[in-house]
Structures are given as structure tokens and as C-alpha cells.
Chain A
Amino acid sequence: MKQITLAMGNGGVENRELIEKVIFRHLKNSYLERAEDATFLGTPQHLCFTTDSFTVSPLFFPGGDIGKLAVAGSCNDLAMMGAKPRFLSCSFIVEEGFSMRSFELILRSMKKELSINSAHVVTGDTKVVPKGSCDGLYINISAIGERVADVSERYLEPGLLILISGSVAKHGAAIFAAREGIDLESDLKSDCKSVWPVVEEMLSVGGVKAMRDATRGGVAAVLNEWAGASDVGIEIDEAAVPIADNVRGICEILGFEPLVLANEGTFVAAVEPHRVERLLDILRRHDLDAALIGRVTKEYPGRAVLRSEWGTRRFLDMPSGEILPRIC
């Protein structure tokens, strides 16, 4: 078995072999093993439910792969709602001829990410499509979590402080550099990771009002959506936003704004001022780059504003359209 064939998605013997010999080897647990039409989950409480499809190209990128991204991404969506990740469904759409070795590498990184979250894949599906019908491998994951704290973008109010969990734009910059067409030598690495462990610690301290992982659209999209949802302004100190030198470099060369590039593990949190020191301590134990970057204000409701080190201010706009390099 070097490649995945159309027959492995046929529902027959080959299909069963792929599931039992390959997928179960990595993702097996007592729920999945039952292998029935649906899985009984008992009676979890205060459910949060999310879904996401993953189509990243390239499938393997510096700092992760599509499997790690899929599990971390779905579990992070739950964590941002104050929910502990529990149960995942997992559907693979595989292109005929996809390398079995790559598939196993992806399953292995999913397994690792699941254990970080103490979550399980409890149901799944595999389809194989003819060559050319998809780009290697797509993964869809739906995830259920149990909510332990009530956090929401609607709880923003003037006076809250804005924290960031690490340096921004690493995923977007790494993917951009890894894609064909832009040949740049660099040591860029995606920030792709699961955030539940750090979030769990933060929630136990209290004072967290809202959290959001700054995925597509980056920090700029999160801040604009928050400002809109709670009808408040958000002011960010530009110099306080942590950006790695190599990320800033690629952004300088291509004319990108780091705040609109995607992250896959870095999140924004709105917190009460009297808890900010302790929460920042927790964040910094996990990532030294975590920082206090701004505050919620009454001014300019619905907008995010950037303040420069020399005292000028401008809007930080919602990103729109395809992100393309400026030409000169």
C-alpha cells in the first residue's frame, strides 16, 4: 500500500482495511472502535459545537501539516468559547494516488494534537475521489466541547484590556513563503498549535471576557469584528504588537500588513484590568512574546484604531479581498 486508490473509498474490503489498519492505528479510542453508524456520547453538558474544513496548500508546511492544523484549529475554536474540547468527527476527502506515507504522517500529527487537547475522534468518514478532483487531501472536522466559562465577543466594554498570546502573522507568512511563486529563503515557521492548555489556566484565574484566535484575516479581522459586535472602539499600540523579525522582513519585502495575516494558535483576549498581570504571566509562561497591546474604548465605536509611537492614529481596517503584494 504505497498510494491511496479509488478502491479504498468503495465501502468494501479495501475501504475497511484503510480504516482499520491505517486510520484506527493512529486515532483509535473506545468510542471510535465501536464503528457503528453513529456514536453514543453519553450526556455531556453545556455543549459548544463547531465545524471547519481544511484545504491548506501545501499540506506540509514549516511548523505543521494539515492534520495538526485541522485538530488544533477545531479545538481552538472551542477553547476560544471557554469550552474544553471533547469529541471530534473527522472526514477525509483524499485524492486518488495520494501517498500512504504522507497520509500516515498526517494521522500521526492529528493523534499528537488530540492528546494535547485530551479529545477524541469519535466518528469519521473517508472518501477517495478521482485524480484531479481535489488537491491531495481535504479534512472536515466538527467538534463538541463542554463549556467551563462564559466568554463572548458581546461582553466587551470600555476599560477592558487587550492581550495577545504570542507574536503575530507567523502562519500567514510561512504559508506564503512556502507556496510556489514566491521563492524566498527563510526560517519562518507557522504558529500552528493547540491553545486549550493555556486557555484552561487562564479561565481558572478568571477575568477573561472574550477570546478569539486570529486565523484568516488576522488580528485586524478579530478587532474589527469585536468592535462591531459590542459597539465599542478598540485602540492598539502599534509598537506593543509582537512581530518576529523574519515575519516583519517578508512583510516589508512584499508589502503586507502583519496584522491582516493569518495565525493558527495565536489569540487575542479581552480581560479585566485587575487580572491582567496574572493572565499575562500565564500567557508568557507558554509564549514569551505574549503582550498587552491595547484597550477597549468609547471612542470610534465599531472601529479598531492603531496608535503610532509618535502619537498619530489611524484606522486598522477589516481586510478585504485576496491578500496580494503591492507592486512597488
Chain B
Amino acid sequence: MELRDLYDRFRDPAAIKALAKAIAKEAQDLEPFSIMEVCGGHTHTIMKYGLLQLLPKNIFFIHGPGCPVCIMPKERIDHAYILAMQPDTILCTLGDMIKVPGSRGSLQDARSQGADVHFVYSPLDVLKIAKENPDKRVIFFAIGFETTTPMTAALIEQALHYGLENLFFHINHVTVPEVMRELIDSRDEHIDSYNNRIDAFLGPSHVSVIAGSKIYEEFPAKYHRPVVVAGFEPVDVMEGVLMLVRQRKEGRCEVEVQYRRSVTREGNMKAQKLIQKYFQKRELFKWRGLGNIPKSAWRFKPEYADLDAEEVYKEILPIGEIEDHRLCICGDILRGMAKPTECQVFGSACTPSKPLGSCMVSSEGACAAYYKYGNLLEAQ
């Protein structure tokens, strides 16, 4: 099998056009219907493939907070910066995390100041770096949703197995259902109301490959919001939208799986056990643009404190809070109350190379995706 066999069919122009036609037909009598795609990967697909241009005028996307790089608060990035600047230290993290500025600068800035910062494709690459540099302390700044958490847990398991004493972890793994609940259920302090415009959710498939589709069952049951777990290719997203439109039209409200090729209700139990083995929920975790959300992130269990960089480096890591920029309206964008282009600093004071707010930070954030790909709908 060629690699392209894995994705070609899911980008098939005929299939995409057929789905667009079906959505337009089924949605023609619907009231305005707003779908939040929770995950930044979906935002990226929607913008990259121009899918907004294929939807009828009564279907809207609200671009959600599911980008682990975007939601990382400055406080945590400052931790990474401080750790990277320690002598004889190698700081490792994933991909575009190194671009994101905290209050002291980004990890890229730390690197230009002489810090040894590596980005790795897989957390297990960190094992090799730690083995090859026994005289250095290697710190893994771990980020990501349910998708990457088991990989960090697997790395911890390996580190313990090999008895590596120079490898430490700064854990920033976050979880999806808690932030979805927060968006529907929390009071918006700016306008003092429980305002949001989310009618339905498109759930990220990769999260459910690990955690199962069961994690979304509370949303139809408790909040009357249907959820479709969908893949990341354009055909997946369009089919997911069609499934939500059909639920609405037929008066159903349930969890459905579009990404049937790998998602089950239970998910990957082995991965879930590995997470439970090393981690427990934090009481609170701050999300950039959204504030503190209860039980929305993992931390080490106390018995692994000697691997936990937050414990080992307690003395030098600040705990004070840093305010989000006051002109930034990321919170409103994430609740569907505003579009990126309605923000007064969008594209002027706030750009991907100098982001003020979370949504501009990574290419998976709503503002960055709007900025990068534009939206040529009006011209057509």
C-alpha cells in the first residue's frame, strides 16, 4: 500500500462536491445552525481546503479551543523558557510550541540566547537524547490533548525502565470534554451571561481513538448538543457536517461517529490505563483566552514527584498569574460570539509572527487560519 492510499480518497473532489450538495439540500429549511469544530486540526482543514465556501448560508462554524499550542498560557511558556535557560540543560518539546511567546519570549528566543532547545517529532525521541547526553539534564515540555498524553506516559515508562536519572517532565496535557463543558456552561464575565452560540459539536477523531466516543455522551444528554466524531480530511469534515445537519433535521440529538475507521465507544484502553498510571487531574488549569477550567489538565501523581520538573525546579518557577492582552477577544471568538475579523487588533497589532492572543498563535488557531488562508467567499 502506498502512503497516498491513506488520504487520497478522503480528498476526492467528486466526493467533496457531492457532500456539499447533500448538505445544501438537507439544510435548506433549517434555522441558522452553528457547529463548533472543537479541534484546531479541524479548523486547519476547513480553512486550508476552503470548506466554508461550500456550505449554505445558514450553516456556521465556530472555531474551538482545541489547539494545545494556542491555549498554552504565558505562565507555562515562561516555565519552559526558564527551564531552557538553566545551565547544562536540554529542553525538548513538540513542533510549533517553540514559536509561541510567553512574557519573557519564546523558546526560539531562548535558543538564540544560547539555550539548547530541541523539537522532537515523537516524545520517544527524547529517550535517545537523554541517553546520549548523560551529563546533561533533559527536560521534556509535554503538551497536547488526549492524543499525545499516552505518548508522554509511554516515555515515562521507558525512562523508568532504563533508570534514566537525567530526564524530567513538565506536564501540560489537557483534556477536551472539560473545555467543551466550560464553553457551554460557564458565565461570560464580560457580558455577565451564559451566552454562547454553539448548537452542535464536531469532535476530533484522534482524541476519540484514545479516549473513545463515550467522553461526549454527556453533551446530548445534559446539554442538548449533538456531537459527531469526525476525521481530519475534507471528506471527513463534510460528512461530519452532513451527519449533524441530518440529526437536526430529524430532531435527533446524539453522539455519532463519522471516523468509523478507528474510533470505538471505549477507545484504546491500554493507552487510558497508561495515562491513569502516571497522571491525575489538576484542580484547575489556566487556558490562554479562557481562564481557569476545573479538572481540565493532567499532572504527575505525587509518587512521581522526582520526575516532575514543576517539583524539582519549584524554587525557580514563578506561580503568579499573567493577564491576557486586554484588546484580545479570543474568549468571544471561542464562544462563537465574534469572528476573528471583528477583532480590532486582527492582522494589525496581532499577527502570527507577533500574536497577542491565543487564536493567532499556531496555524491551528482560528485567527491564524483566517490570516493565513484568507476567506475568498465574498468574491464569489
Contacts and interface: CB of A to CB of B under 8 A. Distances in A.
A299 B379 contact: yes
A55 to B, nearest CB: 16
A310 interface: yes
Given A326-B95, A326-B362, A252 B7 contact: yes
B373 A314 contact: yes
Given A299-B379, A308-B50, A327 B16 contact: no
A314 B119 contact: no
Contacts of B99: 321-322, 324
B150 interface: no
A286 interface: no
A248 interface: yes
A30 interface: no
B143 interface: yes
A255 interface: yes
A136 B295 CA distance: 51
Given A181-B120, A327-B144, A313 B49 contact: no
A324 B119 contact: yes
B98 interface: yes
A255 B94 CA distance: 12
A185 interface: no
Contacts of A310: 13, 16-17, 20, 49, 54
A interface secondary structure, majority? loop
Interface string B158-174: 00000000000000000
A325 interface: yes
A181 B119 contact: yes
Contact of A314 (B2, B125, B363, B376): B376
B251 to A, nearest CB: 31
A328 B145 contact: yes
B148 interface: yes
B369 to A, nearest CB: 10
A182 B376 contact: no
B296 interface: no
Nearest to B369: A314
B65 interface: no
A315 interface: yes
A325 B371 CA distance: 19
Contact of B13 (A182, A309, A320): A309
Given A181-B118, A245-B2, A305-B376, A328 B7 contact: no
A313 B53 contact: yes
A326 B43 CA distance: 13
A328 B54 contact: no
A326 B50 contact: no
B49 A308 contact: yes
B108 interface: yes
A184 to B, nearest CB: 8
A317 B373 contact: yes
A261 to B, nearest CB: 15
A315 B119 contact: no
B4 interface: yes
A325 B69 CA distance: 12
B45 to A, nearest CB: 12
Contacts of A321: 99, 352-353
Contacts of A320: 352-353
Nearest to B118: A181
A35 interface: no
B97 A327 contact: yes
Contacts of B73: none
A273 interface: no
A239 B14 CA distance: 14
B206 interface: yes
A311 B373 CA distance: 15
The 7 A-B residue pairs with the shortest CB-CB distance, nearest first, are A312-B50, A309-B13, A315-B374, A249-B3, A314-B373, A325-B95, A327-B95
5 contacts: A245-B2, A310-B17, A312-B49, A325-B121, A328-B145
Given A308-B49, A310-B17, A313-B50, 10 more contacts: A181-B118, A181-B121, A308-B50, A314-B50, A321-B353, A322-B108, A324-B96, A325-B119, A328-B144, A328-B145
